[in-house]
C-alpha cells in the first residue's frame, strides 16, 4: 500500500477516534445522570473548539517551551527552512523546551499555524544529522495534517482524566448525585475507573499508525531513513536516562514517549514499540521509493 493511501486511511481512522473520545465524554455525563449529560455535552463541544484554536498554546505552555530567538541556533533554523521547502509547508514557529531529555513535538491547527518545540537535550546531545532526522519526523506530522488531530486528542484525554479526578474527590467527600439518579453512583465510578483507561486506549489507537506514517514520511523528506532511525534510538536512550515530567495525556505528542517506563504505564504507551519503528525505517533504506513497509 502506498504512503498516500495509508495517509488517507489514517486520517479517516483518526477522526473516527476523535469522535469516539468526544462520545465517551458525553457518555460519562449520561451515566452520571441528572443535568450532567447536558453539562458534559457542552464541555465536549467546548473542548473541541478550544482545542482547535488554542491547543498549540496549551501544549507549548504545558511544556514550558519558549520561542527560539532569531539569533539562537541559526543552524537549527536553516535546517527547518530546508525541511519546510522539501515538505512544501510554511516554516513553522520554533520553540525550545528546558529539558535535558532529547525529544521534540509538533503542534498547531494547520500547516500555516504550526509550531515545532525541541528540547535543550536534543540540540545539545545529538549530532546534526540525527537532529535533522527528528525535525523531519515532526515536519512529517505537519505535512500529514496530524498536528490538529493529535492536539485535540491530547486535550480531550486530559479533560477526561481531570473529570475522573474531580469525581473521585466527589465520591470521597460525599458530593455525588446518586440520590438524583439510581445510576448516578455507578456512572460516577465508571467515570473514575473506566473512562481514563478508555481514553488512553483510544489515544493509543490514534497515535501508533500516525507515528509509523510520520517515520516513513520523514524518511522521504530526508531521502534516506538512517538518520531518523539512529535518532529514534538516541531519543529512547535519553528518555530512559532522563524521564520528563509530562502530563500523560500529552505524551503522545512527542517523537518518543517522554515518561518513565515502569509499572502499568508500560501497558498503555501510545507510541509504537521502538524496535518496530526502527526495523521499518531500516527496511526503507533498501527500497529506493521509500514506500511504507506494511
- Active-site residues, by number, are 138
Cell of 25: 465524554
DSSP per-residue string spanning 119-172? EHHHHHHS-HHHHHHHHHHHHHHHHTT-HHHHHHHHHHHHHHHHHHHHHHHHHH
Q: What is the H or E stretch that residue 96 is in?
A: strand 93-97
Give the closest residue to 73 by CA, choosing from 128, 144, 13: 128
Q: Are 56 and 71 in contact (CB under 8 A)?
A: no
Count of residues in the chain: 294
Query: What is d(CA 11, CA 27) in angstroms, rounded to the nearest whole number?
Result: 24
Long-range contacts of the stretch 177-183 (C-beta < 8 A, 24+): 177/32, 177/33, 177/34, 177/36, 180/33, 180/34, 181/32, 181/33, 181/34, 183/31, 183/33
- Strands 115-119 and 93-97 come out as parallel
| C-alpha distance from residue 8 to each of 13, 20, 80, 144, 152 (Å) | 9, 19, 25, 9, 19
Cβ neighbours of 226 (radius 10 Å) = 16
Amino acid at each position: 500500500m502506498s504512503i498516500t493511501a495509508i495517509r488517507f486511511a489514517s486520517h479517516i481512522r483518526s477522526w473516527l477516534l476523535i469522535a469516539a473520545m468526544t462520545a465517551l465524554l458525553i457518555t460519562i455525563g449520561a451515566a452520571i445522570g441528572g443535568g450532567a449529560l447536558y453539562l458534559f455535552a457542552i464541555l465536549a463541544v467546548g473542548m473541541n473548539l478550544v482545542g482547535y484554536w488554542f491547543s498549540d498554546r496549551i501544549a507549548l505552555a504545558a511544556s514550558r517551551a519558549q520561542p527560539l530567538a532569531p539569533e539562537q541556533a541559526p543552524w537549527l533554523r536553516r535546517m527547518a527552512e530546508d525541511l519546510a521547502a522539501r515538505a512544501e509547508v510554511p516554516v513553522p514557529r520554533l520553540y525550545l523546551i528546558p529539558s535535558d531529555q532529547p525529544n521534540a513535538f509538533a503542534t498547531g491547527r494547520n500547516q500555516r499555524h504550526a509550531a515545532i518545540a525541541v528540547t535543550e537535550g536534543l540540540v545539545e546531545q545529538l549530532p546534526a544529522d540525527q537532529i535533522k532526522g527528528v525535525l523531519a519526523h515532526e515536519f512529517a506530522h505537519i505535512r500529514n495534517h496530524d498536528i490538529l488531530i493529535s492536539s485535540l486528542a491530547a486535550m480531550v484525554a486530559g479533560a477526561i482524566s481531570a473529570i475522573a479526578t474531580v469525581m473521585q474527590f466527589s465520591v470521597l467527600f460525599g458530593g455525588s448525585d446518586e440520590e438524583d439518579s439510581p445510576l448516578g453512583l455507578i456512572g460516577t465510578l465508571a467515570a473514575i475507573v473506566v473512562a481514563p483507561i478508555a481514553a488512553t486506549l483510544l489515544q493509543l489507537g490514534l497515535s501508533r499508525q500516525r507515528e509509523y506514517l510520520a517515520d516513513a514520511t520523514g524518511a522521504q523528506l530526508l531521502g534516506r531513513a538512517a538518520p531518523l532511525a539512529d535518532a529514534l534510538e538516541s531519543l529512547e536512550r535519553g528518555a530512559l536516562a532522563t524521564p520528563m515530567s509530562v502530563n500523560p495525556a500529552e505524551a503522545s505528542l512527542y517523537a518518543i514517549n517522554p515518561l518513565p517506563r515502569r509499572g502499568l504505564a508500560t501497558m498503555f504507551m501510545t507510541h509504537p514499540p521502538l524496535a518496530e519503528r526502527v526495523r521499518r525505517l531500516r527496511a526503507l533504506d533498501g527500497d529506493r521509493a521509500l514506500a511504507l513497509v506494511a
